[in-house]
Structure 1
Amino acid sequence: MPRGLADKRGPEECDAAALLSLINSCDHFMVDRKKVTEVIKCRNEIMHSSEMKVSSTWLRDFHKKIQNFLNEFRNIPEIVAVYSRIEQLLTSDWAVHIPEEDQRDGRECEIGSYLSVSQVNEIEMELLKEKLQEIYRQAEEQEVFSEEISNQLEVVKEFLRNNEDLRNGLTEVMQKLDSLHLQHQKLDSKEAVIQTPEKKA
């Protein structure tokens, strides 16, 4: 398991990165490793995207790779149970359906292909939470806030400044990250003082 996750007691306490890593490295899972690594690659692409955006082509490709991956677990009842939900998310056009607005504009649409505001909010929240946890793990493992990590964090902060509803739901993880950042800054300051030679009188 990735560093920092050894204390997790079950899959429900792990994020996607940890589960994919476990599936990919554990011999207990009799799966096509190529299909797992393709999903891991997609997951890393979206998590490390500086703009947190993907194209329609990317989504279609991701859809195929997720389907291929899930087919490896088609005999597991729990996977079958959530398959339709996953399909709904992957085949949605990611437009938000607001009944009052759509009716007022005179637009006719199939509601089934749309996501509700709460669904979009839930998905955004989970993705951002995972991205922030990923940033935290990177900083913890490197024992330093590199420029890349700082830039990633700043992008998320900028996004959250414009999305108060999401910001409020991520207060705890943001405080945790800011605290780690502050610790690193203090350590850097101490090291700088130690390394600075004393001036001769």
Structure 2
Amino acid sequence: MFHEHMRARLSNKEYLNWIKAGQCLCILARGLQPFIDCEMRHFHADLLNHNTLLRRPCESFCRPSGNKLLEACRFCSEWQTTILAHHRQPQNTVNWDNCSPVSWRTDHWEVAKAFMPRGQGKVRGADQFDASALLNLINSCDWFHSVAPKPVREINVAVWNEQNVIRYRNELMHSSDFLVSDTWIKHYDSALRNFILLFRNVVPMRRAEQQIKQMLQADLSIHVHGLDQTDSDDIVTDFVHEINADSIVQWEAELLQQRLQEVLEETDQTSALSAEELKILESFFEANKDLGVRFSSQLQNMNLLRKSP
């Protein structure tokens, strides 16, 4: 029924650039996950070894109220103090509502989430965290600046992190029209390559580097025609061979879902999105009726938040 909207959308090169760039973030996250999981296990064990109070269970089922951790028991308070001591920007907002304090003693990821952006409360396990969460963890937790691969320790991590990969990620996810230019993609590619070089000794990151290179070089428009014709002689690598029209549509849906979730959080918590940005988003979904139907509940919630006083 909405086949024409999908075809028109996926024939736009700048829109396909947006999808490709988003998929690169997923590849990057998969490359980082094993390394970060291992390091957070070591970090958690190190904290427990150096402070016996952290080994004691919570006394009163402590949990955040909003984004505050108030009236915590003495053991959860000790965890809170310890986390802040290892936070590179403790003066910034620490998202305590990401965490379940009762699990700090036993779950290294519950500790890790205190160093991540908001919205991680329901996330469990290394393979569920996206690139933004993992990049912010590396940037915020001082453990990584003592144990990370040597090149990371030799440069100003805040510069390459915040001004490069995280900045490009935020530009991508805050593109209200979901379009990015070829020039932007070239700069993005350079930022990703420079970041991955810092982890050249991490095997999954070497694999991620190759997959990101193939993704950015792939002509997704070839595979869009796979809506009618699925095979192409232009497919030259195993990774690219796995791409088909269905996978592109799935990447699109996942990226849009993530963007709409961020819109809801931003509008609910900070009212950061302007009326103009919301109008552009609405116009996009009105013009692409298949997506408007697919994401109707999120769009309805977004409108309710915008109209609320």
The TM-score with structure 1 as length reference comes to: 0.69
CA distance in 2, matches of 1:128, 1:28: 33
Aligned-residue sequence identity (percent) comes to 32
The alpha-carbon distance between structure 1 residues 176 and 162, as it changes in their structure 2 partners (threshold 3 A), is: closer
Residue 155 of structure 1, aligned match among 280, 283, 293: 280
CA distance in 2, matches of 1:77, 1:128: 30
The reply to whether residue 128 of structure 1 matches residue 252 of structure 2 is no
1:199 alignment partner in structure 2: none
Alpha-carbon shift at residue 43 of structure 1 (Å): 1.2
The reply to whether residue 54 of structure 1 matches residue 180 of structure 2 is yes
2:46 alignment partner in structure 1: none
CA distance in 2, matches of 1:180, 1:162: 17
Question: Is the Cα–Cα contact under 8 Å of residues 117 and 136 in structure 2 kept in the other structure?
Answer: yes
Task: Report Cα offsets for 1:73-130 as digits up to 9, x if no partner.
Answer: 2222332333322221122244233367699xxxx96233875322322332232122
Aligned ranges 1:65-144 → 2 under 5 Å: 65-97=191-223, 98=225, 110-112=234-236, 116-142=244-270, 144=271
2:118 alignment partner in structure 1: 3
Alpha-carbon shift at residue 165 of structure 1 (Å): 5.0
Question: Is the Cα–Cα contact under 8 Å of residues 196 and 205 in structure 2 kept in the other structure?
Answer: yes
The alpha-carbon distance between structure 1 residues 167 and 76, as it changes in their structure 2 partners (threshold 3 A), is: farther
Give 1:112's aligned amino acid: V
Task: Report Cα offsets for 1:121-177 as digits up to 9, x if no partner.
Answer: 2332232122112212212321x4x661x44344334333444554555x3xx5246
The alpha-carbon distance between structure 1 residues 136 and 63, as it changes in their structure 2 partners (threshold 3 A), is: same
The TM-score with structure 2 as length reference comes to: 0.48
CA distance in 2, matches of 1:6, 1:94: 34
Question: Is the Cα–Cα contact under 8 Å of residues 263 and 302 in structure 2 kept in the other structure?
Answer: no
CA distance in 2, matches of 1:138, 1:159: 19
CA distance in 1, matches of 2:236, 2:287: 29
CA distance in 2, matches of 1:41, 1:11: 23
**RCO (CA 8 Å, sep 6+): is it higher in 1 or 2?**
2
The alpha-carbon distance between structure 1 residues 90 and 185, as it changes in their structure 2 partners (threshold 3 A), is: same
CA distance in 2, matches of 1:58, 1:136: 26
Q: Which runs of 4+ in 1 moved over 4 A?
A: 99-103, 164-169
For structure 1, the 5+ residue unaligned runs are 189-201
For structure 2, the 5+ residue unaligned runs are 1-115
